[in-house]
Structure 1
């Protein structure tokens, strides 16, 4: 079983480091750059499943790739936020009209931005989205090249409380912000394999929760780790690592996101999601 692992999915990143993970599936952990690459790697057969935020699988379905949802994490309300400079005259999301917003477009950032703008009667078309994947977004914000920044964990925890930033919005009740674990129909993963994956994700999550210090030290020891053990432990304490099957509630959440992004013009046509393997 080839399991895709990118830096922003801490659950699979930890599974790769955790002793005995996915042993029943003879795992090969395949590293890659970011969640938006997941569909391409699934399509090519380089990986059999991966984990991302909520938006990449919808993007894959919009391309007609035939997504099958496997499992979903608990909501992660602390994992995303929108910041402005503390000296900015932008006091609320309404103030972003006509402004430049740095984000990883096509990730859950896009959905968080859309829903947050919608609450003020605005849409994605009312801001200029600036791709941040290959730039230092914090530097761009502080130097005035963008007006707002959609940040996510683990960097979010490191900038929270900075005196030169002001928080506009947290994920909180705006979006569920789950991790989704998914594949493509073409891989035809049997229902028993899907159950094994889900159970193993949940087992690793429970063991991580029971020994956060060990998990933090494993992350800190990685080559080019972006934090020490203390910093990683703070990140890990902020999230619920429980995982369950991607049932009807998850599909409904995803459909609501797909409809929202279509309403905002991110998708030119509607995207109709299929049920998960186990609920089909």
Structure 2
């Protein structure tokens, strides 16, 4: 089985490093750049499943690709936040109106921004979304080319205490911010296979939580790692790596996000998610 791995999905990134992970699946871990590439890789048959934030599978369904959800992580309330400069006039979500916001558009960043604005009676059209791409978003913010920045782990933990930044909102007060593990219906994974994947994802997650120091050392040893073992250990300890099947409540969460993004004009047409087959 070809399992997609990109840097921002720590669960599968750790699985690719963790001894014995997915041993019953004859795994090939396929690295790629970012979660928004997952649908295209699945569509092309380069991977059989991957893990992303909540928005990429909805984007795939909006393209008519037919998503099949496998599993979901526990909520990740500390994994995302919106920052402004501490010397700016932005002190609340309402102050973002008319401003330039740096984000990975089409990821959970978009949903976090939409829900935050909606809570104040505004919407995505009331701000200018600036795709962060390969830019250094922190530098863009500090040098005034954008007015706010949607940040995520592990970079978030590095900047949360900076005196030149002001925290506007965190995920936990706004969206569940789960990781979703998913494939496309064309790959025809059986209920038995999906059930086994859920169990293996959960097993790996619980082993990671049981030895965060080991997991942190594995991440720190990677080429181009974003932190040392101590920094990674703090990130890992802040997360619940347990995994549950993608049941009806998870699909309902995803549908609520799809409906929100449609209301905000992110999608030109409504996106209707299909209920998942029962595994029992």
TM-score scaled by structure 2? 0.99
Shift of 1:142: 0.2
Cα deviation, residue 133, structure 1: 2.1
C-alpha separation in 1, matches of 2:279 and 2:104: 31
Give the match for residue 133 of structure 2: 133
Cα deviation for residue 91 of structure 1 reads: 1.0
Deviation at 1:275, TM superposition (A): 1.5
Partner of 2:181: 181
Query: In the alignment, is residue 264 of structure 1 matched against residue 278 of structure 2?
Result: no
Name the residue aligned to 2:112: 112
- Which whole-Å deviations, capped at 9, do the CAs of 1:55-96 have from their partners, x for residues lacking one? 000000000000000000000000000000000111101111
Which consecutive residues of structure 2, in runs of 5 or more, have no partner in the other structure? none
Q: Deviations over 1:98-129 (max 9, x none)?
A: 10000000000000000000011110000000
5+ long unaligned stretches in structure 1 = none
2: CA distance between counterparts of 1:212 and 1:96?
37
Which residue in the other structure is 2:203 paired with?
A: 203
In 2: Cα distance, 1:6 partner to 1:205 partner: 17
TM-superposed deviation, 1:279: 5.9
Partner of 1:34: 34
Aligned residue-pair number: 280
Is residue 248–residue 279 contact of structure 1 (8 Å, CA) maintained in 2? no
SS at match of 1:172: helix
Q: Distance in 2 between matches of 1:163 and 1:96?
A: 20
**Residues 1:55 and 2:55 are matched in the alignment:** yes
CA distance in 1, matches of 2:114, 2:153: 19
Q: CA RMSD in A?
A: 0.9
| Deviation per residue, 1:149-191 (Å, 9 max, x gap) | 0000000001110010000000013100000000000000011
Distance (Å, rounded) in 1 between the aligned partners of 2:248 and 2:174 = 20
CA contact (8 A) 1:49 1:181 kept: yes
Once the 2 structures are TM-superposed, how far is the Cα of residue 277 of structure 1 from its aligned partner? 3.4
Matched residues in 1 for 2:170 and 2:258: separation? Answer: 21
Contact 2:71–2:246 (CA under 8 A) maintained in structure 1: yes
**1:278 Cα deviation (Å)?**
3.0
Query: What's the counterpart of residue 235 of structure 2?
Result: 235
Query: Quick one: distance in 2 between partners of 1:129 and 1:278?
Result: 39
> Any conservation in 1 of the 2:79–2:153 contact (CA below 8 Å)?
yes
Structure 1 match to 2:66: 66
Partner SS, residue 69 of structure 1: strand
Residues 28-55 of structure 1, C-alpha deviation per residue, up to 9 Å, x if partnerless?
0000000000000000000000000000
Q: CA deviation at 1:250?
A: 0.3
TM-score (norm 1): 0.99
